[in-house]
Amino acid sequence: MLAFVGCAHFEDKPLVPTRVAEALESRSLAEAGLQDFVSINLGRNVPAWPPSEWNLDQLTLAAIYFHPGLDVARAQWAVARASIRSAGARPNPTVGVTPEYNISAASGVSPWAPGLSFDVPIETAGKRGHRVARASHLAEAARLQIVNQAWQVRSQVRSALADYVGISTRLTLLQKRLEFQDQIVAMLEQRLAVGAVSVNEVATARVAATKWRTELAAERSRLGEARAAIASAIGLPTKAVTGVEFRFDLAVEADASRRVDSVELRQAALQQRADIRMALAEYVASQSALQLEIAKQWPDVHFGPGYQWDQGEGKWSLGLSVTLPVLNQNQGPIAEAEARRVEAAARFTAFQARIVAELDHAEAAWRTAQEQLRQTDELVAVQAGQLSRLDVAQAVGGADRLTVATARLEVAAVELLRHEALVQAARAFNEVEAGLQRPIEFLETTALGSTAAERSTAAKDSRSQ
């Protein structure tokens, strides 16, 4: 009976959809647990909580803390680690009771001959070691999937943040352009009143003002959608980021001095990216699986001692049995394992080919964005210079108000173009960073924690104590 003392017992943990939904809806950036998580991983205290402004690193940590996709990856890693224990389990011996009854027993002699038999399986050819090795490599692949998922989450947060800041700045520039357009309309209407311009000129200016007003309203709607996208990327309901301020410098993101095309970075990505290392771990696991199937050609040994009490005489027996590999030598499973190893190798090659294509595309997009940014910088400089000369001319009576207002409108137009180029450059850099997965240490050391549900339970327990 002592063998049953350490048995596990079932613990019912019902999943109530309404409670799960309530927990998701109650998530907030103001949570004390998130404050501790951010402080620990940034290596400094964050005394004012929640921060008045959230930057990319803080939002990335919030996403690692909350995102349900990472919770799924962590749970899968826990399953993979548990499988190592299963793979290392040794087969239990068995015991059997074999009573015999002698129908020809002499009078006065018990016809019963009770007996016990045992079967002790002994694995051969290192099968257990190969099972453990395969499970260990698959657990490493599951761990790396968490890191890979964390990079995808960071990329989504960065993209959503760039879109939000880009739309917010575009709103300001559109408002500025609309003000200049309204000024031009007012000036043209004054000239129309004295017959200095035609009705068509005024109508054209009014249509342009209506167009910019409509675009401004559309951008305001997009700003709300962009805020919702940030919440989704973090793993929060939209109401959790309502009123939250974000800090993200597009100019820093688009800095042309950043090195994005070095050979060293590309080689590091092709060897050290999380998905590359994950595919490599899966390949090594397929090797261990093949070794296991080859080892199964060697039969396991079953050691079978027994004892019988026969009419006052104790009798010991000793049995030894093996499976005879005469009908098959495990050829089918070996062939399958070899094919899976070939498949894993092909998958690894495909991963590297995809990464090369991603990096080539990202670097090309970065170069294109930098060229567009350079051209729009030149346009802004030209238009600003022209406006400056017109301001001087107006001061001495050499240019009228309408000409200067039109020049200001043109400057606002090229500033919008430059802003679009800036946003594209920031997006291109996001693609480059996601392709290189650098610096990888930041995410690899923070993403491998407990799930959000486990942290929430721990926080509640801590508060109740």
The predicted-structure confidence for 222-250, as pLDDT tens digits, reads as follows 999 999 999 999 999 999 999 999 999 99
Indicate the burial class of 330 (C-beta count within 10 angstroms; 0-12, 13-18, 19 or more): middle
Alpha-helical regions (H) of 194-240: 199-234
Please state, in angstroms and rounded to a whole number, the distance separating the CA atoms of residues 31 and 452. Answer: 12
Please state, in angstroms and rounded to a whole number, the distance separating the CA atoms of residues 50 and 48. Answer: 6
> Looking at residue 305, what is its pLDDT?
93
Structure-block tokens of residue 404? 């200067």
> Looking at residue 1, what is its pLDDT?
47
Please state, in angstroms and rounded to a whole number, the distance separating the CA atoms of residues 428 and 358. Answer: 11
Every domain of the chain and the residues it spans: 53-450
Is residue 58 within 8 A of residue 271, CB to CB? The reply is no
Please state, in angstroms and rounded to a whole number, the distance separating the CA atoms of residues 82 and 138. Answer: 11
Angle CA 121–123–126, to nearest 5: 170
Nearest in space to 163 (alpha carbons), one of 218, 217, 224, 215: 224
> Looking at residue 363, what is its pLDDT?
87
Confidence of residue 460 (pLDDT cuts 50, 70, 90): very low
> Looking at residue 463, what is its pLDDT?
42
Nearest in space to 151 (alpha carbons), one of 269, 54, 27: 269
Which of 124-138, 206-220, 398-412 is most confident?
124-138
The predicted-structure confidence for 85-94, as pLDDT tens digits, reads as follows 999 999 999 9
pLDDT, mean of residues 29-33? 90
> Looking at residue 448, what is its pLDDT?
63
Give the global pTM. 0.84
Is residue 116 within 8 A of residue 97, CB to CB? The reply is yes
Q: What does pLDDT average to over the chain?
A: 88
Structure-block tokens of residue 396? 């001495």
Residue with tokens 């995808």: 152
> Looking at residue 326, what is its pLDDT?
87
- Top CATH class, 53-450: mainly alpha
- The beta strand positions in 18-155, using DSSP E, are 53-54, 94-97, 100-101, 112-113, 115-122
pLDDT, mean of residues 109-117? 86
447 phi and psi angles, rounded to 5 deg:
-85, -10
The answer to whether residue 423 scores a pLDDT higher than 80 is yes
Confidence of residue 210 (pLDDT cuts 50, 70, 90): very high
> Looking at residue 450, what is its pLDDT?
55
Which of 109-113, 114-118, 288-292 is most confident?
288-292
Confidence of residue 215 (pLDDT cuts 50, 70, 90): very high
The answer to whether residue 465 scores a pLDDT higher than 50 is no
> Looking at residue 320, what is its pLDDT?
92
Nearest in space to 278 (alpha carbons), one of 381, 93, 376, 141: 141
Structure-block tokens of residue 443? 């995410």
The answer to whether residue 159 scores a pLDDT higher than 60 is yes
Confidence of residue 458 (pLDDT cuts 50, 70, 90): very low
More confident residue, 465 or 423: 423
> Looking at residue 272, what is its pLDDT?
84
The predicted-structure confidence for 318-347, as pLDDT tens digits, reads as follows 999 998 888 899 999 999 999 999 999 999
> Looking at residue 111, what is its pLDDT?
83
User: Amino acid identity, residue 53?
Assistant: E
The answer to whether residue 192 scores a pLDDT higher than 80 is yes
Please state, in angstroms and rounded to a whole number, the distance separating the CA atoms of residues 352 and 286. Answer: 18
Angle CA 285–440–37, to nearest 5: 105
pLDDT, mean of residues 165-179? 94
Structure-block tokens of residue 48? 């004012």
The answer to whether residue 298 scores a pLDDT higher than 70 is yes
The answer to whether residue 199 scores a pLDDT higher than 70 is yes
Please state, in angstroms and rounded to a whole number, the distance separating the CA atoms of residues 71 and 150. Answer: 10
pLDDT, mean of residues 265-272? 82
The answer to whether residue 4 scores a pLDDT higher than 60 is no
The predicted-structure confidence for 367-378, as pLDDT tens digits, reads as follows 899 999 999 999
Strand partners, 101: 112
Please state, in angstroms and rounded to a whole number, the distance separating the CA atoms of residues 23 and 29. Answer: 14
Confidence of residue 447 (pLDDT cuts 50, 70, 90): low
Confidence of residue 113 (pLDDT cuts 50, 70, 90): confident
The answer to whether residue 457 scores a pLDDT higher than 50 is no
Q: How many Cβ atoms sit within 10 Å of the Cβ of residue 403? A: 13
